[in-house]
Amino acid sequence: MLQQNVKRLDTAYKNFFEGRGFPKFKNRSNFTSFTYQMGVKVQGSKIYLPKLGWMRFHNSRVIPEGFTIKAATIRKRQNGWDVSIRIEDKSIPDYISKPLNEINSLLGCDLGITKLVHLSDSYQIENPRFSTNKKAKRTLKIRQRRVSKKVKGSNNRKKSAKRLGRLHKKIADKRSAYQWETANKIVSRKVDAIAVENLNVSGMLRRCKVKIDEKTGRFLKNGQSRKKGLNRSISDAGWSDLILKIEYLAVKQGKIVIKVNPKNSSQECRNCGHIDKSNRDGEKFICTHCGYHEHADIGAAKTIRDRAFEIVRGDSTKLAV
């Protein structure tokens, strides 16, 4: 277990030297997980952890026969402790994706906020807005205010913070369950490959650049207050996690996920190729050059599908799987 912590430290410094941020010091209050590489045993509703012994746990997923336990990670959550067990069976063959020359059908996916996903076959998936709907925002605001009004370091503040954390975990669990359901709907469609947007979500969530008046030296408005609400909606949608789940399920079904550059996908006319910001007005798309009109997001999904076809038929080195 101590060796795993040294490996984590090594990984953190490798990330630092590759330009991905300085390692963060973790004391016992924010060090919330540890990993066992050997010695873990499971018997019914009991698990044996080295140095801790046998303890009861809720066995939510029974380990199939023929699998061996390779590692176990213990994580502290707001409602208790979770254990995730990594298992292996070498007799099971790896999943094999369909070759590129056999791809005949593609499904394009355009991610959004009003609707979570728009598909190229005109199907739309709703966005429940788990943390940005009216009720959730009010509840979060009340519980956060209760935490801030308690004395720092007091037991009452810790209790309020724990209650707030449980609400955040409940929202996150709902979002994750809905994403798995959405990913299953997308992957289960009768297509050979799925095209998704290659999004830089962390870049989209960055703060606006500061604007300073050269004469007075005062800060000018830069639109950050308006962008704050958009950032919350993007974070609530969880596009990156949804794409990861789509990729995971696609591999299990032998399908390929192709990541496409989404630039101007919702502003490009599918009839004449004219690109203009004024082509789009909300969910409506009306080309200012030829008058072609359709649903803007569904048209974007079709454009993403067509761009993926160009990648498959052209330069296969651009394919992201």
Which domain covers residue 58, as residue numbers? 2-88
Residues 117 and 235 in one domain: yes
Annotated active-site residue in 197, 236, 247, 268: 197
Burial of 277 (0-12, 13-18, 19+ CB in 10 A): exposed
Distance (Å, rounded) from C-alpha 310 to C-alpha 10? 41
Task: Check if 297 is active-site.
Answer: yes
> Angle at CA 201, nearest 5°, toward 302 and 13?
140
Domain membership flag for residue 300: yes
User: Are the beta carbons of 100 and 316 closer than 8 angstroms?
Assistant: yes
Instruction: Report how far residue 79's alpha carbon sits from residue 226's, in angstroms, rounded to the nearest whole number.
Output: 35
Contact present, 83 and 73 (Cβ < 8 Å):
yes
In which residue are the tokens 């991610």 written? 111
Task: Specify the pLDDT at position 282.
Answer: 84
121 within some domain? yes
User: Which residue stretches of the chain have pLDDT < 50?
Assistant: 316-321
| Active-site pick, 236, 247, 268, 297 | 297
Domain assignment present for residue 238? The answer is: yes
> Residues 109, 226: one domain?
yes
Angle at 38 between CA 32 and CA 40, to 5 degrees: 75
Cα–Cα distance measured from residue 149 to residue 160, given in angstroms and rounded to the nearest whole number: 10
Q: Which DSSP helix (H) or strand (E) runs through 87?
A: strand 80-88
Q: Within this chain, do residues 56 and 111 fall inside the same structural domain, yes or no?
A: no
Q: Are residues 198 and 62 in the same domain?
A: no
Given a contact cutoff of 8 angstroms between Cβ atoms, the answer to whether 106 and 98 are in contact is no
Contact between 285 and 277 under an 8 Å Cβ cutoff? The reply is: no
Is 236 noted as a catalytic residue in this protein?
Answer: no
- The answer on 250 and 291 residing in a single domain is yes
Judgement on whether residues 124 and 224 belong to the same structural domain of the protein? yes
CA distance 40 to 42: 7
Tokens coding 33:
């997980």
Q: Which residues of 199-208 are buried (b: 16+ CB within 10 A; e: fewer)?
A: beeeeeeeee
Q: Do 120 and 10 share a structural domain?
A: no
* Number of folded domains that form the chain: 2
Q: Tell whether 244 and 313 lie within a shared domain.
A: yes
CA separation for the pair 65, 89 (Å, rounded)? 9
In a domain, 19, yes or no: yes
d(CA 122, CA 212): 45
The answer to whether the beta carbons of residues 36 and 71 sit under 8 Å apart is yes
**Is residue 33 located within the same domain as residue 63?**
yes
pLDDT value of residue 29: 77
Question: 3-class SS at 34?
Answer: strand
Task: Specify whether 121 is catalytic.
Answer: no
Residue finishing a domain among 39, 68, 88: 88
Same domain (yes/no): 51, 112? no
Claim to verify: residue 69 and residue 202 sit in the same structural domain:
no
Q: Is 55 helix (H, G, I), strand (E, B) or coil?
A: strand
β-bridge partners, 125: 117
Chain position carrying tokens 């490798």: 14
Nearest CA to 107 out of 268, 318, 312 is that of 312
